[in-house]
Structure 1
Amino acid sequence: MADASGLELVEQALGHRFSDRTLLEQGLTHASAEAGYSYERLEFLGDRVLGLVVAGLLLARFPDEDEGEIGRRFSALVQADTLSEIGGQLGLADHVRAASGVVNDSILADVVEALIAAIFEDAGMDVAAEFVRRHWELRIDAVTAPPQDPKTALQEWSQARARGLPSYHDIGREGPDHAPRFTVEVHVDGAEPVQATGASKRAAERDAAAIMLSMLDPESHG
């Protein structure tokens, strides 16, 4: 069982006092802790709650944008990088229970989703939605134009220059099951391959695409 004072600190950070603290404990517990429970089911639910609230906020905030533009905004706002950043700002890493004691960005992102679900289960949709609004509205307003995913941007750059589609290749996987690191290599015709490592294959591919695009960008303006 987690330390009561630690749980109280998390409640203060979240701005919600739980009626059922077992939900909070579950939301902070990784499967590797072998506690008999983990945040995985809550994470599944939290992903859906977050998605619903963010989608509603975006549709209300940008009534003139089409589905594709809203979709790009949505993807950037619910990606693991955004979630882990929020988890870091809330100071959650010090309170997550994991076997290694090391909480990477992927775990931190999962915990944020799990805690959104924990709030939802404890107090209902209105309270969970208010939590999401507090931590996402400024991010929504900060981006004036719909962002573009690096993989999409690289694909468009490559196709516009008749270089075909970029290809991504798995290079390796390291680390324990609860904190893996994936290395991916991206290939574009006429360019040297680029590798990147991330907490998920998707993150590694995105970072590799961003690096490749930054290398090719001077050529695109040439």
Structure 2
Amino acid sequence: MKLSGPLREFQDRLGHVFATPDYLIRAVTHSSMSSPHRDDNQRLEFLGDRVLGLVMSEALLNADVNAAEGLLAPRFNALVRKETCADVARQIDLGAVLKLGRSEMLTGGRRKEALLADAMEAVIAAIYVDAGFEVARDRVVAMWGDRIHNVEKDARDAKTALQEFAQGQGEAPPSYVEIARSGPDHAPIFTIEARLQSGATEQAQAPSKRQAEQAAAKALLDRVQGESK
């Protein structure tokens, strides 16, 4: 099967030309578009998650030959988590070529973090089955780029770091409250407030609750850590 113009352009952004284009087509086909004659990307997603894990494990070992397992594990988690996969997907504009059913289209599926992350894993698997591990590894390392070497500062997500800070102060875990939701149903914007028992609060907005919670947690953590210095 030949690729459409947008998918050919996506190959350029991806940095890999598929010998078997069907792999890429399957990787960008969401389950809302599957049919008896059209496979979706769920099986590729399963495989891509494992390929990504192996690539990141190897990359971290090579990046810091002296790091102990206790340091490598949180770095690994930061590099393979859904937020990071979705961020890379946005970097290569994967959402623009996703094949979605009507319901997903109407609810802003091209911008959904979980959907983008799953599709990113499926694309990694598509490269792997099309060209083998070495090519897949090279493309993943290129797309993840500086994230691999700068992962130390992102090894703990902001919510976890804020919770650890609260525990260190003898406080209850932070809470997250949805303050507002704006925009149309297919492209909502959530306003979340992060709260500490001490009374400190910070708000943030994002297209998903998870992103807004993380952003609010980071803002609050930056504030309270700055005040404690």
Question: What are the superposed Cα offsets for residues 200-222 of structure 1, whole Å, 9 maximum, x if unpaired?
Answer: 6654543332233234334322x
Shift of 1:125: 1.5
Structure 1 pair 188–142 and aligned structure 2 pair: CA distance change class (3 A) = closer
Structure 1 pair 145–198 and aligned structure 2 pair: CA distance change class (3 A) = closer
Structure 1 pair 172–75 and aligned structure 2 pair: CA distance change class (3 A) = farther
The answer for the alignment partner of 2:11 in structure 1 is: 11
Instruction: Indicate the RMSD between aligned Cα atoms, in angstroms.
Output: 3.3
The answer for the alignment partner of 1:138 in structure 2 is: 146
Shift of 1:181: 7.9
Q: Verify the 8 A CA contact 1:2 1:25 in the aligned structure 2.
A: no
Shift of 1:104: 0.6
Structure 1 pair 15–110 and aligned structure 2 pair: CA distance change class (3 A) = same
TM-score, L = length of structure 1 = 0.79
The answer for the alignment partner of 2:130 in structure 1 is: 122
Shift of 1:25: 0.8
Shift of 1:140: 1.6
Cα distance in 2, alignment partners of residues 128 and 185 from structure 1 = 40
Query: What SS does the corresponding residue of 2:148 show, helix, strand or coil?
Result: helix
Residue segments in structure 1 that go unaligned for 5+ positions in a row: none
Larger displacement relative to structure 2 (85-94 or 161-170): 161-170
Query: What SS does the corresponding residue of 2:143 show, helix, strand or coil?
Result: helix
The answer for the alignment partner of 2:79 in structure 1 is: 77
Match of 2:43 among 35, 41, 44: 41
Are positions 1:56 and 2:54 aligned together? no
Identical positions, percent: 38
Q: Verify the 8 A CA contact 2:27 2:40 in the aligned structure 1.
A: yes
Listed as ranges, the matches of 1:59-208 within 5 Å are 59-98=61-100, 99=102, 100=105, 102=108, 103-106=110-113, 107-143=115-151, 147-167=155-175, 175=185, 186-191=194-199, 202-208=210-216
TM-score, L = length of structure 2 = 0.76
Question: What are the superposed Cα offsets for residues 102-145 of structure 1, whole Å, 9 maximum, x if unpaired?
Answer: 41151322221110011112222222112112222432224565
Larger displacement relative to structure 2 (167-176 or 63-72): 167-176
Q: Verify the 8 A CA contact 2:78 2:151 in the aligned structure 1.
A: no
Larger displacement relative to structure 2 (87-96 or 55-64): 87-96
Query: How many positions carry a matched residue from both structures?
Result: 219
Structure 1 pair 180–93 and aligned structure 2 pair: CA distance change class (3 A) = same
Shift of 1:53: 0.6
Query: What SS does the corresponding residue of 1:141 show, helix, strand or coil?
Result: coil
